[in-house]
């Protein structure tokens, strides 16, 4: 069993730590779903999360700034 852990770098009233147990043999599609759930658990709006994880690479290039914002926290 693997773990995906997010720890917020600065203190705030938002969630400080999220820890998810993941099977070590999941495929990339399941991993993508886990990442979406992690983003939603951290409070990002589902519309923003869906926009970042688009299946169309051409559309995904437009979301680069959103991805950077999500990664910064």
Q: How far apart are CA 14 and CA 43, in angstroms?
A: 8
Residue pair 17/6 in contact by the 8 Å Cβ criterion? yes
- The C-alpha R_g of the chain, in whole angstroms, comes to 13
**pLDDT tens figures, 20-32:** 888 888 888 888 8
Q: What pLDDT does residue 30 have?
A: 87
pLDDT at 1 over 70: yes
Q: How far apart are CA 52 and CA 34, in angstroms?
A: 14
Q: How far apart are CA 48 and CA 52, in angstroms?
A: 6
pLDDT at 54 over 80: no
Rounded average pLDDT over 35-47 = 86
Domain ranges of the chain: 2-72
Nearest to 73 by CA among 11, 2, 4: 11
């Amino acid at each position: 069993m693997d773990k995906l852990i997010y720890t917020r770098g600065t203190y705030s009233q938002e969630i400080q730590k999220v820890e998810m147990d993941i099977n070590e043999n999941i495929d990339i599609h399941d991993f993508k779903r886990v990442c979406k759930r992690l983003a939603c658990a951290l409070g990002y709006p589902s519309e923003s999360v869906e926009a970042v994880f688009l299946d169309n690479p051409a559309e995904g290039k437009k979301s680069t700034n959103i991805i950077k914002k999500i990664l910064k926290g």
